[in-house]
Structure formats: C-alpha cells, structure tokens
Structure 1
Amino acid sequence: MASQTDPRYLRSRAAILDAARELLLEHGPTAVTHAQVSERAGVGRATVYRHWPRSDQLLSEAMTTVPMSFFSTPTIPVRDWMRTELTKMARQLEHDAVRAVATTLANTALWDTNMDARRERFASALAERLAAALDDAEKRGEIALRTDPRSAAALAIGPLHYRSTIEHGAIDADLVEAAINAVGTWR
C-alpha cells in the first residue's frame, strides 16, 4: 500500500474526492457510489475502495468538503430569510442519503478527531451566521431574542433534525414556523 505521503496516493485521493463532490453537487447523494466515482475520477474501483472502504464514508467526506450555503447571505426581513433557509434545509433532510450522512457524521465525530473538527467547523459556521443575522435584526427592532444568538441555531435547526432523523417524519411549514418563533418574538 502506498504511503499517505506518496504523491500518487495524494493525487488519487484528491481526484476521487473531487469526483465525489462533483457527483454530489450535480446529482445528489445517491450518485456518490464507488462505481460512479471511479469512472468520474479516472481511477480503478479498487483504488476508491482502498481510500474509502464504505460508500457512506466517501459520501460523508464529500459532503464535508462541499461549501455550505445555509444561512450564508442574510436578507431583510430576517424572519422571511430564516423561513427560506430552514425550508431549504428541510428539503435536503427529506433525502434518505442526507439523513444517513448527517447521522453518520455526528456519530463518527464521537470517535474520529478529524471528523469532529469538521463537525465543529460546520456547527460553528451555522451558529455564527444565524447569530449575526439575528443580532442585526434585534438592533433594527425586528425581533426580541429569547436566547443568546449563538443558541439560535440549536433552537431553529434542532427540531428539523429531530423530526427528520429521529422520527423519520416530514418537516412541514408549521414546524419551520415553530422553529423560527422559538428564537424570539417577531415584530
């Protein structure tokens, strides 16, 4: 087996990850299979398996390298923006593969320090983006926050994640509204 510092090892790993990310963005999570990734990357299927023995591992790593667009560009009124962002997130969580990967990422982070660092970056980005938008909304008088803005992501996203991954239920507009209202009183 090639050393993890061997340039060939690093090139094939990068090509595989690039291919997985492209397939994910173009066709969704179900497209990230060893066969499709090997074809796109121009490497043998055995090479893909050598780097990622299980497809959920490959999909997890591909997902963690995709730029996260949730809550990235706040608009006014913030309540409408939150509704749009949470609804987009809810639609993603409808996909079995996305639910599986979200659960796998959280679980793997318990034992894998690299995955835990990715989880922390993802969580921090969501919390910071939402907190900044809510801080601005509060300054404008759009909302009276009930909590520290850094806790808003847990209050707003938590119910969606719970409904999707624990209950395996659909996230409807009422749940999205309840999550939005959990962070504060809107004016």
Structure 2
Amino acid sequence: MNTETDPRFQRSQQAILTAARELLLEKGPVAVTHVQVAERAGVGRATVYRHWPRTDQLLAEAMATVRMPLLDNPTVPTRQWLTRELTALARQLDLDDVRAVAVTLAGTAPWDEQMNARRAQFAKILADRLADALDAAQTRGELRLSLPSRDAAALAIGPIYYRSTIEHASADAALIEAVITVVGTWVD
C-alpha cells in the first residue's frame, strides 16, 4: 500500500497539521516545533519528522491552512465593493491567527525561500485581484487612477497591513475611507 494513501498516514498527517495550526494561533510561530506538535497531536516525534523533516516546512504548511481573505469577485459599484473588501481585510487582520501568519510570512521571508515563495504567492494574488478590479473600474469610468493599478493596490492594502501588524490596532472606517480616496478620483 502506498504510504500516502494509507489511512493511518493521512490521519497522523492531519492530526499534526491541526496541532501545528493550533500552536501557531495560540503561541505564534516559535511554538511550532516537532516536540510541541507531537505532544499536541498525540503522536511520536518521529512521526512528525517523517511527515515534515524540517520545522520550517511544518510551519509553512500550517500557515497555508489558515484562510486569508482574498479580494475576489468585484462588484459594481467598485467603490462600495472596495470599502466592503478592505473592511473585511481589516477585520481578518484583527484576528490573531491571520495576524500571526502575516507577520510570520513577512518576517521569515528574507531568510527562507519556502516562506518567501508563500509570501510572494499571497502578495501576488492580492495585488493582481485588486489591480484588476481597479483597472476594470477605470475602464467603466467609475475611477480615474492617480497611479498604476499595482501601485494603487499596494497603497490600498499597505496602511491596513501596517495598522494591524506593526501597531496591533484596528483599521477603522476613517482610515479605510482615506485609503479609498487616495487611490484615485471616484466618479459618481
């Protein structure tokens, strides 16, 4: 029987991932060690090593299980959609688990290729989706961008990310409205 299709293999893998995610959310990335994950999952340390030989691999996999908001399915009028989406992003970043993943990705990426790849993938998804929505709004005549759409996307997300991860505070409605106003000129 193929190890990866063995139900015991799959159960232990799932238990390990669940334990790693719980530790990440409760105590941060430093708690995601083979020893602590094995103890939490109720498996032997060797089992954890068999699935993930390196701690950073385990951490990256655990982080991938935390759902992150994605600026998807834009609606018209775009300004209202953007307000809702940025507010949802801000509320997600208020959650400790999402904030922990965001900080871990940014902080570990410069030294870890796997983390950097996850960071780049997440950033690309957010930037592409938001830039596409802004370009479409500009094409429809709803918006005149004051800078390229990719830069506008960074400008829209950046202050919310900063407020959450650096200041550990919530991005309120006033900040979100200011961000939306700065992105470009909205045509009513």
**Which TM-score applies when normalising by structure 1?**
0.74
Secondary structure at the residue paired with 2:111? coil
Corresponding residue of 1:38: 41
CA distance in 2, matches of 1:84, 1:20: 33
Corresponding residue of 2:112: 112
Corresponding residue of 1:125: 125
The change in CA–CA distance for 1:95 and 1:47 in structure 2 (over 3 A counts) is farther
Q: What percentage of residue pairs aligned between the two structures are identical?
A: 48
Q: CA deviation at 1:147?
A: 1.0
Say if 2:78 is the partner of 1:78: yes
CA contact (8 A) 1:59 1:101 kept: no
Corresponding residue of 2:91: 91
Q: CA deviation at 1:17?
A: 6.6
Counting only pairs closer than 5 Å after superposition, residues 1-187 of structure 1 correspond to structure 2 as 7=3, 11=9, 14-16=13-15, 19=18, 29-30=25-26, 34=37, 38=41, 44=43, 46=45, 50=49, 51=52, 58=58, 60-65=60-65, 68-187=68-187
CA distance in 2, matches of 1:82, 1:129: 11
CA distance in 2, matches of 1:175, 1:57: 36
Where in structure 2 are there 5+ consecutive unaligned residues?
Answer: none
CA contact (8 A) 1:20 1:58 kept: no
Q: CA deviation at 1:94?
A: 1.1
CA contact (8 A) 1:138 1:145 kept: yes
Secondary structure at the residue paired with 2:110? coil
CA distance in 1, matches of 2:98, 2:162: 14
CA distance in 1, matches of 2:85, 2:59: 23
Where in structure 1 are there 5+ consecutive unaligned residues?
Answer: 1-5
Corresponding residue of 1:3: none
Q: CA deviation at 1:164?
A: 1.1
CA distance in 2, matches of 1:184, 1:166: 26
What amino acid sits opposite 1:166 in the alignment?
I
CA contact (8 A) 2:92 2:98 kept: yes
CA contact (8 A) 1:90 1:160 kept: yes
CA deviation string 1:59-91 (max 9, x = no partner)? 653333556541111111111111111111111
CA distance in 1, matches of 2:119, 2:181: 26
The change in CA–CA distance for 1:164 and 1:69 in structure 2 (over 3 A counts) is closer
Of structures 1 and 2, the one with the larger relative CO (CA 8 A, separation 6+) is 2
CA distance in 1, matches of 2:185, 2:144: 5
What amino acid sits opposite 2:45 in the alignment?
A
The change in CA–CA distance for 1:154 and 1:47 in structure 2 (over 3 A counts) is farther
Q: CA deviation at 1:107?
A: 1.3
The change in CA–CA distance for 1:117 and 1:53 in structure 2 (over 3 A counts) is closer
